């Protein structure tokens, strides 16, 4: 009997050890192999006139008790400066195709109140207009990506808007801008020609949109004399928002035969992560591992989506002159209970941070074609970087991913060989790990590892050649639960912490915790 009990306890001990046994992922990378540049514009953001994204999130007005610079809140500006946001897309989204820029310039008291019919029919004071947007962009050190109104505007209206923003010569519109306090022309880095023209932008056929695109491309131009050559404004055409490729076929085929009179530099692509499809139903807090798995599974579709569209683009543009611009992406969860459904307010959890890293890694692997992306959206809307409530502000887990990824901006992609392994749970199979490596301008090597496994840590064993690595240090972002969030009351539940990593004989060893994002710098 004693022997049976002893062998039983031995088996239990073995099972216990097996249950917690660590997984190991073997990676290898040759730091001397250089891929495409990971364009810093992949870390762009999107700020639409929607809910509290602009009003309250950015704009509180000069008379607010919330500390501000010319009406723009200081806490938000300081937080965004730290992210080196390369570009901000504004004013929409669906809102762009109903926006008439003239209503948002000039003395605040004279601006008309309008209805935001794209998002809940709320009254818009128009106090955040072109000059306020440009002020915001300059305060955070970013570049403007404006979407012009094709759906309910005219080429003339859009052309005059560009002239207002960019003309240096003393035209009437340049003088008007000067009278509004801005004598020097603004820089506009990117111009989107319409938004989702196959749906909220006017429900156009591809052929109808193409006829508009050609006209806008021909007549809506940047007049800033400094924006020539490499700093010319890039024009971005509406692209797909669904996996089918007919729209891309039509637009790219036309582009292949374009003459001198029209052109575009980028094709937009929109894809949101909605774990249960539309209408969205996945909660942004209080969910479990099953919802976590479904959401990550759904987000990984981005890779296949890009491949499909790239195959068509490669057919008509083998030299990859036209960039694929993923100017709306991110998690779209159910609105937070108690909020106005038209404001698209959701919390942002560790799950969203992991989802962000997976998408950024996908974009980096497609960097030869995908050269710009804008997460939706910057503040208080969808997968936000920042949440505000009147004077309060909190940084989300997604914010910290963007901060951890700073070294990847404009770094050179280095391919990583690895077997991602698999995690099976609730009928869903996910890769266990994901990895991204790049070299920055100073020659430093950076390695990112995402551990998707919600329960098990993973030992990383990375063989590094092509560079003599002497030391490694880094940060890990994780939290007790997949739905851990930062709140105004408890803002530091999901924040990066230092992680220890060892380097010996060209091998890097570290353990990455379950459900985590880790970025390591490897120093020569
Ligand atoms: O980001 C919210 C909305 O999603 C945008 O306005 C629209 O372009 C997309 O459908």
In the structure encoding, which two tokens stand for residue 287, read together? 């969910």
pLDDT one digit per residue (tens) for the chain, 524 residues: 344 333 444 333 333 334 455 799 999 999 999 999 999 999 999 999 999 999 999 999 999 999 999 999 999 999 999 999 999 999 999 999 999 999 999 999 999 999 999 999 999 999 999 999 999 999 999 999 999 999 999 999 999 999 999 999 899 999 999 999 999 999 999 999 999 999 999 999 999 999 999 999 999 999 999 999 999 999 999 999 999 999 999 999 999 999 999 999 999 999 999 988 899 999 999 999 999 999 999 999 999 999 999 999 999 999 999 999 999 999 999 999 999 999 999 999 999 999 999 999 999 999 999 999 999 999 999 999 999 999 999 999 999 999 999 999 999 999 999 999 999 999 999 999 999 999 999 999 999 999 999 999 999 999 999 999 999 999 999 999 999 999 999 999 999 999 999 999 999 999 999 999 999 999 98
What is the Cα–Cα distance from 236 to 245, expressed in whole angstroms? 18
328 has catalytic annotation: yes
| DSSP one-letter string for 272-289 | EE-TT-SS----SSS--H
Element (H, E) at 29: strand 23-30
pTM: 0.95
Cβ–ligand 1 distance for 197 under 6 Å, the answer no
Number of the ligand 1 atom closest to the C-alpha atom of 95: 6
Closest residue by CA, ligand 1 atom 6: 93
Establish whether residue 328 lines the binding site of ligand 1, counting it when its CB lies within 6 angstroms of any ligand atom: yes
Ligand 1 centre and the CA of 390: distance in Å? 24
Burial 452-474 (b: 16+ CB within 10 A, else e): bbbebbbebebebeebebeebeb
Centroid of ligand 1 to alpha carbon of 93 (angstroms)? 5
How many other β-carbons are positioned within 10 Å of the β-carbon of residue 69? 12
């Amino acid at each position: 009997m004693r022997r049976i009990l002893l062998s039983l306890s031995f088996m239990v001990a073995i099972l216990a050890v097996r249950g917690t046994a660590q997984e190991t992922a073997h990676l290898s990378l040759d730091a001397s192999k250089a891929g495409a540049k990971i364009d810093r514009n992949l870390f762009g953001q999107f700020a639409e006139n929607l809910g509290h994204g602009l009003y309250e999130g950015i704009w509180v007005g000069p008379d607010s008790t919330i500390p501000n610079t010319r009406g723009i809140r200081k806490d938000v500006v300081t937080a965004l400066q730290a992210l080196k946001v390369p570009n901000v897309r504004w004013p929409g989204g669906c809102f762009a195709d109903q926006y008439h820029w003239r209503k948002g310039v000039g003395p605040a008291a004279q601006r008309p109140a309008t209805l935001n019919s794209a998002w809940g029919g709320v009254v818009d004071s128009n106090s955040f207009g072109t000059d306020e947007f440009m002020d915001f962009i300059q305060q955070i050190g970013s570049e403007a990506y404006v979407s012009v109104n094709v759906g309910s505007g005219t080429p003339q209206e859009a052309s005059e808007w560009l002239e207002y923003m960019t003309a240096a010569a003393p035209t009437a519109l340049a003088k008007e801008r000067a009278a509004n306090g801005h004598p020097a022309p603004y820089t506009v880095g990117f111009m989107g020609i319409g938004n989702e023209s196959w749906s909220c932008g006017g429900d156009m056929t591809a052929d109808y949109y193409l006829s508009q695109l050609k006209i806008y491309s021909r007549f809506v131009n940047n007049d800033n004399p400094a924006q020539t050559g490499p700093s010319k404004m890039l024009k971005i055409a509406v692209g797909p928002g669904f996996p089918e490729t007919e729209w891309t076929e039509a637009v790219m085929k036309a582009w292949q035969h374009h003459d001198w009179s029209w052109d575009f530099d980028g094709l937009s692509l929109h894809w949101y992560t909605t774990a249960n499809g539309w209408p969205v139903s996945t909660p942004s807090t209080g969910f479990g591992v099953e919802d976590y798995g479904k959401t990550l599974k759904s987000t990984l579709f981005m890779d296949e989506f890009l491949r499909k569209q790239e195959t068509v683009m490669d057919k008509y543009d083998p030299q990859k002159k036209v960039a694929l611009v993923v100017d709306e992406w991110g998690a779209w969860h159910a609105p937070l209970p108690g909020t106005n459904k038209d404001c698209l307010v959701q919390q942002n959890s560790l799950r969203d941070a992991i989802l962000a890293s997976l998408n950024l890694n996908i974009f980096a692997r497609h960097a030869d074609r995908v050269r710009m992306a804008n997460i939706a959206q910057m503040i208080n809307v969808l997968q936000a970087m920042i949440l505000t409530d009147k004077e309060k502000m909190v940084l989300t887990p997604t914010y910290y991913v963007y901060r951890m990824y700073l070294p990847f901006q404009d770094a050179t992609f280095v391919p990583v060989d690895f077997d991602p392994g698999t995690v099976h749970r609730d009928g869903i199979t996910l890769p266990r790990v994901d990895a991204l490596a790049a070299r920055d301008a100073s020659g430093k090597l950076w390695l990112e590892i995402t551990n998707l496994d919600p329960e098990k840590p993973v030992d990383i064993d990375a063989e590094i050649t092509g560079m003599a690595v002497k030391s490694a240090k880094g940060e890990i972002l994780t939290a007790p639960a997949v739905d851990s969030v930062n709140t105004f009351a408890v803002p530091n539940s999901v924040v990066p912490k230092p992680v220890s990593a060892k380097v010996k004989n060209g091998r890097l060893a570290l353990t990455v915790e379950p459900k985590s994002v880790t970025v390591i710098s490897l120093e020569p």
